[in-house]
Amino acid sequence: MGRTLRFLVVLLAALGLLAGLGYAVLARITSGWFERDLELRSSLAVRAAHDSLAGRWTSDRAGLTAILSNIARDERIMAAAACSLHGELLAATEGYPAEFPCRSLLERMRHAAPEDATSWTMASDLAAGPVQVGVFLLDGDPEPLGAVVLVHDLRFLERREATTRNILLVAFFVLSLGASVVTLLAARFAWKRWNLELRRALGGEGTDEFQPLVRDVRALAQRLAEEREQEGRAGAWSAERLHATLKKYLHGERIVILANREPYSHDRGAEGVRVLHPASGLVTALEPVMRACSGVWVAHGSGSADRDTVDGDDRVRVPPGEESYLLRRVWLSEAEEQGYYYGFSNEGLWPLCHLAHTRPVFRAEDWEHYVRVNRKFADAVCEEVEGDDPIVLVQDYHFALAPKMIRERLPRATIIVFWHIPWPNAERFGICPWREELIAGLLGASVVGFHTRQHCSNFIDGVDAFMESRIDREATAVVQGERRTLVRPYPISIEWPVHWLSEVPPVAQARAEVRVELGLAPDALVGVGIDRLDYTKGIEERLSAVDQLLQRYPEFRGRFTFLQVAAPSRTKIERYRELNERVEALAAEINARWSTESYHPIVLLRTHHEPTAVYRYFRAADLCYVSSLHDGMNLVAKEFVAARDDERGVLVLSQFTGAARDLTEALIVNPYDLRQASDALAAALHMPADEQRARMRSMRRLLSEFNVYRWAGRMLVDAAEIRRKERMTGRFGAGRAAWGVEGA
């Protein structure tokens, strides 16, 4: 709509300019027309009266005057006169202007151009207005008898000219406007068609049905436009820019991150202690942020050799070798880990927030552990901060209560919470027996972030339903007393460029190596899926889609192998153990159906893989299938795109991931719809190279811009803005009561 308006304004300005120019040109043209018309009429009138005039020329002056008066009856002729060849006035109508004596007129005619020898005109101005004087020689034998002078009133002419010009101008204007409207409509139509064509081209033959939701594409386009506008010319987000942002807006203050999962764990194996990088989207995203910002990461020390590698304050510098920030480990007893981590976090909140058909289990003992452990971590955070107004980033569903607990101890802190998983609608959230406590805990933060707007509005609806508070929908904030908590979407991403990739072989080498390792032919087609073994990831649906692919597209039997890497996760929970068994059984069943002596369609690797190994698989694959049944974001999809610097490979992506809103050039599927998913796998395997390139290039461009530094930077900038406002309104000095902490 805005674009159309802008077009119309420009159009009208152009038409105005054209009209100005057109008016001048038309004025010249019309006055030329009318002058010629006048001359013609006059000479006709004189010629028609020739015989009568000639008969009375020298003998009958009264008769001559009568004929001249007759000619001058025409309303355009003001006066007429008859002149002898020598310039003597023979007769004239009444009021013939003295300014045009016969002698001087004939004299001037004689000096005029040869084509004006028999009739000559000139324009002149009288007090009454402009006139045109025409002098016409009257034929005689052997020489002309004399001349008839006609004085034309040009005011009449001017009026007619003006009317004609105006009519022409209006016609011109209407025509131009009509033409422009037609052009506009044609352009809009063509734009729509072009868009359709483009989407069709991107979709390729047979891939039309795997398009993202139009709503998602629109939301992405709007976000891109808004963010580009806000970002202005600041350039791409990088570790350096994030660091500079922290310095500029928050004076380089130390950041403290609270997250359950640690970025590095020390584990004792047969060959001694080794450092592991846990499989966690949260770690993937936050670790580069910490490297850029430095500070402290407070986490559960879960590795078997973690206690042996910390100093007296339970800290260790990481990353090993680089040591750019501190990891503070917090120890949990088995009972605490059971109740807080396995129990309330992963049997209660995790299934509550994911629509994946697993019932949440809420046990009062788990809740008590959850409260106690949240306090333990909140205390650890308070020990790590410097000063009384630190910046604390609280991560995920393990710590819903910590923001309020930290706020109670550090009222001036800037606390940002990021919830990495979906937030359910109010009705669903309402089944949690401690729903009010959870929300109150989160509202201790200055900012609560989610991946999507939908999750933000679910959260706000929950606040509205279960809490005493005011919702500022305009600013998407919750107001309790004097305290405000902003609720904002910050779609998370990965680092760009991914630092691991420098240690990963290039695509051709990775392809060859992995095919040899899996015992496949060099030209075998390979699909890959990489997840924690979690029921939200849709691994069973994924394997079943491969089964259907082989059933419905026989050309892939014996040629296509799907490599599923499934890192064991939360294995003390029954549901996860059951999933492990089901996935194993399903893989075996599918393999039994399609295997030959040398071919097995499913390769299942159920061990932890370090990031370099994961990236090598991404590079070796023809496609990656992310089939989550529900996922806040899913960074595996983004990592696959990051790995493919050859701009090849196809991403098949569940529409129930947050990532599907960003990666709209993936083949978007409903993972429950096995027919559709298997069609998408087939389309991916058949996809021509240039289409793969077009899709991959576009997704890579988006990720290079929308990387994790931007994610963190935008949250920090928002937090800085809140700090600035609070300092300006003097609330920092007002003490605990002003923060509404006492009663909270």
Closest CA to 736 of 401, 382, 386, 409: 409
CB of 385 to ligand G6P, least distance (A): 22
CB of 673 to ligand G6P, least distance (A): 25
Could you give the CA distance from residue 640 to residue 622 in angstroms, rounded to a whole number? 11
Which residues make beta-bridge pairs with 269? Answer: 272
Residue closer to ligand G6P by CB (options 396, 540) is 396
- The pair of structure tokens assigned to 356 is 């994946």
CB of 261 to ligand G6P, least distance (A): 4
- The pair of structure tokens assigned to 21 is 């120019």
CB of 400 to ligand G6P, least distance (A): 12
Selected binder of ligand G6P within 161, 262, 287, 396 (CB under 6 A): 396
Asked if residue 420 binds ligand G6P (CB under 6 A), the reply is: yes
Residue closer to ligand G6P by CB (options 484, 608) is 608
Could you give the CA distance from residue 701 to residue 699 in angstroms, rounded to a whole number? 5
Could you give the CA distance from residue 37 to residue 28 in angstroms, rounded to a whole number? 14
Residue closer to ligand G6P by CB (options 261, 644) is 261
Residues 528-547 that bind ligand G6P (CB under 6 A): 532
Residue closer to ligand G6P by CB (options 570, 710) is 570
Residue closer to ligand G6P by CB (options 404, 537) is 537
User: Do residues 403 and 393 touch, judged by C-beta distance below 8 A?
Assistant: no
Closest CA to 686 of 206, 208, 210, 209: 206
Residue type, 109: M
Residue closer to ligand G6P by CB (options 281, 403) is 281
Site string for ligand G6P, 347-386 (x = CB under 6 A): ----------------------------------------
Residue type, 286: L
Asked if residue 421 binds ligand G6P (CB under 6 A), the reply is: yes
CB of 591 to ligand G6P, least distance (A): 28
Asked if residue 566 binds ligand G6P (CB under 6 A), the reply is: no
By beta carbon distance, the residue nearest ligand G6P is 280
Asked if residue 570 binds ligand G6P (CB under 6 A), the reply is: yes
Residue closer to ligand G6P by CB (options 346, 476) is 346
Selected binder of ligand G6P within 374, 480, 564, 569 (CB under 6 A): 569
Could you give the CA distance from residue 548 to residue 593 in angstroms, rounded to a whole number? 11
End-to-end CA gap in the chain? 47
Residue type, 210: F
CB of 395 to ligand G6P, least distance (A): 7
Asked if residue 639 binds ligand G6P (CB under 6 A), the reply is: no
**Dihedral sign for Cα atoms in the order 365, 370, 375, 379:** positive
Site string for ligand G6P, 42-81 (x = CB under 6 A): ----------------------------------------
CB of 360 to ligand G6P, least distance (A): 16
Cα 574 from chain centroid (whole Å): 43
CB of 346 to ligand G6P, least distance (A): 6
Closest CA to 80 of 4, 146, 143, 141: 146
Contacts of 330 (CB under 8 A, 6+ apart): 298, 299, 300, 301, 314, 376, 377, 380
Closest CA to 72 of 129, 14, 131, 2: 131
Residues 255-284 that bind ligand G6P (CB under 6 A): 261, 280-282
CB of 529 to ligand G6P, least distance (A): 16
CB of 634 to ligand G6P, least distance (A): 9
Residue closer to ligand G6P by CB (options 287, 679) is 287
φ, ψ at 170 (rounded to 5°): -60, -45
Site string for ligand G6P, 284-323 (x = CB under 6 A): ----------------------------------------
Which residues make beta-bridge pairs with 152? Answer: 77, 132
Could you give the CA distance from residue 648 to residue 635 in angstroms, rounded to a whole number? 19
Asked if residue 329 binds ligand G6P (CB under 6 A), the reply is: no
Task: Give me Rg for the CA atoms of the chain.
Answer: 44
Contacts of 586 (CB under 8 A, 6+ apart): 540, 543, 544
CB of 737 to ligand G6P, least distance (A): 35
User: Do residues 479 and 467 touch, judged by C-beta distance below 8 A?
Assistant: no
SS3 (DSSP) at 447: strand
Residue closer to ligand G6P by CB (options 92, 394) is 394
Cα separations (Å) of 713 from 132, 243, 332, 496? 80, 9, 32, 14
Please give the residue ranges that form the binding site for ligand G6P (CB under 6 A): 261, 280-282, 396, 420-421, 532, 569-570
